[in-house]
Amino acid sequence: MRSSNLRTPFWRAAYRALPETMRHRHLADIERAERWELALDAAVEASSWVKGAVSRLFSTNTKAHSH
């Protein structure tokens, strides 16, 4: 079983759920889907981090301006 290359439990389970005779045929598709999922997750995480950083950069400190 080559599913050891799969990093996430979801995609390993999806691979194992296939009949033995179909696994080899669809392994590349499952690996590609997992790579897309991981890339999209990373992009969302990065955009969230950038949004937070930009927000902190341009936020005003209300305590410093209030008297």
Domain-embedded: residue 17 = yes
Please report the pLDDT score of residue 57 as a whole number: 87
Please report the pLDDT score of residue 13 as a whole number: 97
Domain-embedded: residue 10 = yes
Domain-embedded: residue 28 = yes
Q: Write down the pTM of the prediction.
A: 0.72
Domain-embedded: residue 27 = yes
Q: DSSP class of residue 65?
A: H
Q: How many domains does the chain contain in total?
A: 1
Domain-embedded: residue 14 = yes
The DSSP code sequence of 3-63 is: GGG--SHHHHHHHHHS-HHHHHHHHHHHHHHHHHHHHHHHHHHHHHHHHHHHHHHH---HH
Domain-embedded: residue 2 = yes
Domain-embedded: residue 46 = no
Please report the pLDDT score of residue 19 as a whole number: 97
Kindly indicate the confidence band of residue 59, based on its pLDDT and cuts at 50, 70 and 90. Answer: confident
Q: What are the tens digits of pLDDT across the range 7-51?
A: 999 999 999 999 999 999 999 999 999 999 999 999 999 999 999
27: domain range? 1-38
Please report the pLDDT score of residue 21 as a whole number: 95
